[in-house]
Amino acid sequence: MAKKINITINGVVYEANSGETILEAARNAGINIPTLCYHKDLCVAGNCRVCIVEIAGQSRLAASCATPCHENMEVYTNTLKVRTARKHIIELLLSEHNADCTRCYKNGNCELQNLAAEYKIMSEDLIPLAAYKNYSIDMFSPSIIKDDSRCIRCQRCVRTCSELQGVNALTVAYKGDQMKISTFFEKSMNEIVCTNCGQCVIHCPTGALIEKNYIEEVWEAIADPDKHVVVQTAPAVRIGLGEELGLQPGTRVTGKMVAALKSLGFDSVLDTDFTADLTIMEEGSELLNRLKKVLVDKDDNFKLPMFTSCSPGWIKYIEHMYPDMLQHLSSCKSPQQMFGALAKTYYAKARKLDPEKIVSVSVMPCTAKKFEANRPEMHDSGFRDVDLVITTRELAIMIKQAGIDFPKLNELKYDRIMGVSTGASVIFGATGGVMEAALRTAYELVTGREIPFENLDITPVRGMKGVREASVIIDNPLAEWKFLDGVEIKCAVAHGLINAKKVVEAVKNKDAEYHFIEIMACPGGCLGGGGQPIPTNSEIRDKRAQAIYEEDANLPIRKSHENTEIIKIYNEFLEKPLGERSHHLLHTFYVERKRH
């Protein structure tokens, strides 16, 4: 228990925990202090200086985000001295900034703009420095745009990429007036180790790092009478979208989202959940196959543990950082790409459509999915499998542009075919969800019985701890799986690439023995993805996770192999998991990439 201390803020005595910063104590007391470089997910930097406060007895102002409270400290957050200094600092930031907000993607959702609005900076006394700077915009990545002219050098992105992701793609370069956020040798974002996870984007307070948006392209496709536009929505979009449209974090909006998509004019509104279930069938079978090859056949061509492959940020990470481990990756495509390949084959055939006229759009909580859809090998349908990827945020923008009163929409259901989801696929949106879904199905395939967890809730793999472990002992399996009798299947789950690194290192150094490992590039899994609503922090992610598990608990089918459309697709099209068609459409390969 933290020791309680007394601190006086603006003349009123409050209780604070010792060790807390002035900022935390003030916010707990309901007094807001503006911040820019501070972010709850990150370590304290203390470089923007807008959070300054006056401490009695000190002539210098203190950065409240970086200054611990002391017993009987006397703090003032709104004196003339503080206001003058804070206004100066905002003016300084703006003087260095390309502040033409009306042409900025973050207009309306920008921390710098909010601050300027609050402090009513109306005049421009200082010299506009932006005009003298050779600011550049990097638009080469399919996922992320980096516009240095909107950067306030708070280093949130740098801390994100290093502390949460361990990638260190972004660094601070140069000093003094030249100081900027840069990459290895100032290369473009598409030429470096960047995984396109977009965590820097959701942690950036301004328009300096944004997703590359494809909103106009989607509108154009919808408007084209010759095109049949299908849209798939990832599991985590339904629990995030509401936040961008005025609802509280953790609000489930599945039905309203479907209604909105129909009203936007998509020809068919389908669910990535369907291919999430398909992933479970394929990946589960692949795992069982690997277990047999390794444990029984002693076949060196198969490696354990097997890593999941549905997070494209994680895929690019391992391709860069651990190319020698690529054989450990499941060969399954991500649900998005499975969906894309099927949309222009299975779906086209069933709906009697010319696949060339199908535009396949996906709504994802993720910026790395934009890169993934762009990978040259993702053309197994004979066409580009997924044409356009937009994030949860871009969808919200479209809904606003269309003038839809989102909270008032009547809930609608997904179209068929490829629109049935299960609880198992919904939880793909949370860290541990793939593991839980896979265990529900694999255990049952092997033993013929349900996995022995109350209500099928495999709680050890849930939660937000960076790395979690679980194991299941296979007891009395069906004849075909006799070799697994009594085997303890050991699993691990990691989210955030910094945690992925820990697990991969443990596997490499043989410090840990696992059979199956789920990895999601983003903190919290897809629900905390780089395409999700801004802001993000652990409380918001917890609420989104809660919504996901509620959605799971409320669905009539909660196991992938019981999804009626999954049964149907294997009967009518794919025949069996790991079959020839699956192999062609649903599985992929990986490439080695440079470490810088």
Partner 1 sequence: MTREYNLKRADFIFRNENDWEHILSRTLKKDRRELINELISSELKGRGGAGFPTGLKWKLTSESEAPQKYVICNADEGEPGTFKDREILMKVPFKVLTAMAICAYITGANNGFIYLRGEYKFLQHDLQKAIDEFIYYCNDINFKFSIDIFMGSGAYICGEETALMESMEGFRGEPRNKPPFPTGQGYNRMPTVINNVETLAHTYTIFKHGAKKFYDLGVQFSRGTKLFSVSGDTPKPGIYELELGMSLSDFVNDFGDGDTKAVQVGGASGFLVPRKKFSETNIGYKGKLTGISLPTGGSMMLFNSTRSMYNVLDNYLEFFREESCGQCTPCRVGCQQLHMGIKAVKQGQKPASYLEKLLKLTETMQYTAKCGLGQSVANSFSSIVENFREEMIY
Parallel, antiparallel or unpaired: strands 144-147 and 228-233? unpaired
Any idea which residue has 């495999």 for tokens? Answer: 458
Smallest gap from residue 121 Cβ to ligand SF4 (A)? 11
* Cis, bond preceding 523 (omega within 30 deg of 0): no
Instruction: Report if residue 364 touches ligand SF4, rule: CB under 6 A.
Output: no
Instruction: Report if residue 197 touches ligand SF4, rule: CB under 6 A.
Output: yes
Smallest gap from residue 523 Cβ to ligand SF4 (A)? 11
Smallest gap from residue 90 Cβ to ligand FES (A)? 12
User: Among partner 1, ligand FES, ligand SF4, none, what does residue 51 contact (CB within 5–8 Å per kind)?
Assistant: ligand FES
Decide: 230 and 343 in contact? Cβ < 8 Å. yes
Smallest gap from residue 155 Cβ to ligand SF4 (A)? 5
Closer by beta carbon to ligand SF4, 106 or else 544 = 106
The two structure tokens encoding residue 14: 């409050």
Q: Which amino acid is at 297?
A: D
Report the C-alpha gap between 80 and 552 in whole angstroms: 53
Smallest gap from residue 119 Cβ to ligand FES (A)? 15
Give the dihedral of Cα atoms 159, 164, 167, 172; nearest 10 deg: 0
Report the C-alpha gap between 66 and 76 in whole angstroms: 16
CA atoms within 13 A on the CB side of 582: 23
User: Among partner 1, ligand SF4, ligand FES, none, what does residue 452 contact (CB within 5–8 Å per kind)?
Assistant: none
Report the C-alpha gap between 201 and 532 in whole angstroms: 10
Report the C-alpha gap between 184 and 594 in whole angstroms: 12
Closer by beta carbon to partner 1, 81 or else 416 = 81
Q: Site for partner 1 (CB under 8 A): which residue of 39, 106, 150, 153?
A: 153
Q: Site for partner 1 (CB under 8 A): which residue of 178, 301, 455, 509?
A: 178
**Range in contact with ligand FES (rule: CB under 6 A) among 29-37, 275-283, 403-411, 482-490:** 29-37
Instruction: Report if residue 38 touches ligand FES, rule: CB under 6 A.
Output: yes
* x/- track of binding to ligand FES for residues 558-577 (CB under 6 A): --------------------
User: Among partner 1, ligand FES, ligand SF4, none, what does residue 438 contact (CB within 5–8 Å per kind)?
Assistant: none
Q: Which amino acid is at 517?
A: I
Residue 74's H or E segment, with its range, is strand 73-76
Closest CA to 278 of 52, 438, 402, 472: 438
Helix ranges, 120-198 (H): 156-159
Q: Catalytic amino acids?
A: 283, 286, 310, 330, 369, 372, 377, 526
The two structure tokens encoding residue 460: 């050890």
**Range in contact with ligand SF4 (rule: CB under 6 A) among 132-140, 194-202, 411-419, 460-468:** 194-202
Instruction: Report if residue 95 touches partner 1, rule: CB under 8 A.
Output: yes
Q: Site for partner 1 (CB under 8 A): which residue of 125, 216, 226, 300?
A: 125
Smallest gap from residue 185 Cβ to ligand SF4 (A)? 15
Instruction: Report if residue 369 touches ligand SF4, rule: CB under 6 A.
Output: no
- Under rule CB under 8 A, how many of the chain's residues touch partner 1? 40
The two structure tokens encoding residue 449: 């019985």
Closer by beta carbon to ligand FES, 49 or else 344 = 49
Residues across the chain: 596
Parallel, antiparallel or unpaired: strands 488-495 and 516-520? parallel
Instruction: Report if residue 37 touches ligand FES, rule: CB under 6 A.
Output: yes
Give, as ranges, the residues between 52 and 91 that touch ligand FES (CB under 6 A).
Answer: 63, 65-66
Closer by beta carbon to partner 1, 33 or else 222 = 33
φ/ψ bin of 508: left (φ > 0), alpha (ψ from -120 to 50), beta (otherwise): alpha
* Burial bucket for residue 313 (CB in 10 Å: 0-12, 13-18, 19+): buried
Report the C-alpha gap between 24 and 18 in whole angstroms: 11
User: Among ligand SF4, ligand FES, partner 1, none, what does residue 113 contact (CB within 5–8 Å per kind)?
Assistant: ligand SF4
How many C-beta neighbours within 10 Å does residue 505 have? 12
Q: Site for ligand FES (CB under 6 A): which residue of 49, 106, 212, 238?
A: 49
Smallest gap from residue 374 Cβ to ligand FES (A)? 36
Closest CA to 378 of 337, 320, 334, 339: 337
Interacting residue ranges for ligand SF4, rule: CB under 6 A = 97, 99-101, 104, 106-107, 110, 112-113, 144, 150-157, 160-161, 165, 167, 169-170, 181, 194-200, 204-209
Interacting residue ranges for ligand FES, rule: CB under 6 A = 35-38, 46-51, 63, 65-66
